[in-house]
Structure 1
Amino acid sequence: MTKTMLVLGATGGVGGAVTRAMLKRGWQVRALVRTPDRAATGWKDAQAPHWIKGDAMSRDDVTRAARGVSVIFHGVNPPGYRDWENTVLPMIDNTIAAARAAGGARIVLPGTIYNYDPAEISLVDGETPQRPKGKKGAIRVELESRLTRAAPDVPSLIARAGDFFGPDVGQSWFAQAMAKPPLRRIINPGSPGIGHAWAYVPDLAEAIVRLLELPAGRLQPAECVQFAGFWDADGSDMAAAIRRAAHAPRLPVRRFPWWLMRALSPFGGFPREVMEVRPFWNHAVRLDNSRLVTLLGTEPHTDLDQAVATTLAAS
Structure 2
Amino acid sequence: MISNNNDRLALVVGATGGVGGAVADRLLAGGWRVRALNRDPETARRTSGRAGLEWVKGDAMIEAQVVAVAKGASLVVHGANPAGYRNWAGLQMPMLNSAIAAAKAAGARLVFPGTVYNYGPDAFPNLTEDRPQHPVTRKGAIRVQMEDALKAASDDGLKVLIVRAGDFFGPKSTTNSWMASGLVKPGRPLTSVMYPGPLAIAHSWAYLPDVAEAMVTLAERNDLGAFEIFHMAGHTVTGEALVAAFSRVAGRKVNVSRLPWFAIHAIAPFNETMREMLEMRYLWETPVLLENAKLTARLGAEPHTPIDEALRETLTGLNALPVAAPRLAA
**Which bin holds the TM-score, normalised by the shorter protein?**
over 0.9
Report the counterpart of residue 12 of structure 2 in structure 1: 7
Q: Is the 8 A contact 1:179 1:242 kept in 2?
A: no
The equivalent position to 2:259 in structure 1, one of 229, 235, 256, is 256
The equivalent position to 2:174 in structure 1, one of 165, 170, 174, is 170
Deviation string 1:130-177 (CA, Å, 9 cap, x unpaired) is 001101100100100110111151111110000000011122111112
The equivalent position to 2:119 in structure 1, one of 116, 120, 123, is 116
The equivalent position to 2:66 in structure 1, one of 62, 67, 89, is 62
For structure 2, which runs of at least 5 residues remain unmatched after alignment?
A: 319-330
Q: What root-mean-square deviation, in Å, do the aligned CA atoms of Structure 1 and Structure 2 show?
A: 1.4
Report the CA distance between 1:61 and its aligned residue: 0.9
Q: Is the 8 A contact 1:14 1:75 kept in 2?
A: yes
**Which whole-Å CA distance do the structure 1 matches of 2:294 and 2:258 have between them?**
35
- Residue 286 of structure 2 corresponds to residue 283 of structure 1: yes
Report the counterpart of residue 33 of structure 1 in structure 2: 38
Report the CA distance between 1:82 and its aligned residue: 3.0
Q: Is the 8 A contact 2:11 2:77 kept in 1?
A: yes
The equivalent position to 2:22 in structure 1, one of 17, 21, 26, is 17
Alignment map for 1:36-51 (pairs within 5 Å):
36-45=41-50, 47-51=51-55
Q: Is the 8 A contact 1:124 1:286 kept in 2?
A: yes
Aligned length: 309
Deviation string 1:86-105 (CA, Å, 9 cap, x unpaired) is 110111111111111112x1
Report the CA distance between 1:266 and its aligned residue: 3.7
- Residue 148 of structure 2 corresponds to residue 145 of structure 1: yes
The amino acid of 1:253's aligned partner reads V
Report the CA distance between 1:109 and its aligned residue: 0.7
Structure 1 length-normalised TM: 0.94
Larger displacement relative to structure 2 (204-213 or 183-192) = 183-192
Report the CA distance between 1:119 and its aligned residue: 5.5
Report the counterpart of residue 218 of structure 2 in structure 1: 211
- Residue 75 of structure 2 corresponds to residue 75 of structure 1: no
Q: Is the 8 A contact 2:119 2:134 kept in 1?
A: yes
Report the CA distance between 1:252 and its aligned residue: 1.5
**Which whole-Å CA distance do the structure 1 matches of 2:92 and 2:21 have between them?**
19
Q: Is the 8 A contact 1:198 1:229 kept in 2?
A: yes
From the superposition, tell whether residues 310 and 147 of structure 1 become closer, same or farther in structure 2 (CA, over 3 Å): same
The equivalent position to 2:129 in structure 1, one of 119, 126, 133, is 126
Q: Is the 8 A contact 2:193 2:256 kept in 1?
A: yes
Report the counterpart of residue 163 of structure 2 in structure 1: 159
Q: Is the 8 A contact 1:119 1:279 kept in 2?
A: no
Report the CA distance between 1:83 and its aligned residue: 1.8
